[in-house]
């Protein structure tokens, strides 16, 4: 940004300091009868009741194994039209 100061042009730099939020990235998903486990980069595992996601609950065991993770933040299944963002899986609203 250029600022006129005393009939001279000088360069002014703006410095923005952002507080970085930790980024959660999915690396793998597996299931047992009632639970979906999302394995995150860094070793953490989220356990989520499958009944919170009716479309996933409808899938058979073999259909649940046919999933794709995109960019570590979205999850979809071959036999479902739904795409789930990691925030949605965590129960957070998407803006």
CATH number of the domain at 70, please.
3.30.2020.40
Strands (E) in 12-89, as ranges, are: 26-31, 35-40, 45-49, 67-70, 74-77, 83-85
CB 31 within 8 A of CB 19: no
3-state secondary structure of 57: helix
- The verdict on residue 78 lying in a domain is yes
- pLDDT, tens digit, 9 for 90 and up, residues 17-76: 555 555 789 999 999 989 999 999 999 999 999 999 999 999 999 999 999 999 999 999
- The verdict on residue 17 lying in a domain is no
- The verdict on residue 10 lying in a domain is no
- The verdict on residue 80 lying in a domain is yes
- The verdict on residue 2 lying in a domain is no
- The verdict on residue 45 lying in a domain is yes
Helix (H) or strand (E) holding 22: none
Domain count across the chain: 1
What pTM value is reported for the model? 0.70
What is the residue range of 44's domain? 23-89
- The verdict on residue 95 lying in a domain is no
Block residue for tokens 């930790």: 22
- Considering only the C-alpha atoms of the chain, give the largest distance between any 2 of them, rounded to a whole number of Å: 74
């Amino acid at each position: 940004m250029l600022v006129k100061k005393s009939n001279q042009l000088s360069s002014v730099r703006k410095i923005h300091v952002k507080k970085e939020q930790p980024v959660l990235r999915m690396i793998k998903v597996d299931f047992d009868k009632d639970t979906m486990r999302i394995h995150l980069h860094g070793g953490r595992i989220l356990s989520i009741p499958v009944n919170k996601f009716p479309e996933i609950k409808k899938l058979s065991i073999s259909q649940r194994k046919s999933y794709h993770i995109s960019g570590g933040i979205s999850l979809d299944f071959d036999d479902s039209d739904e795409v789930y963002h990691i925030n949605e899986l965590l129960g957070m609203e998407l803006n």
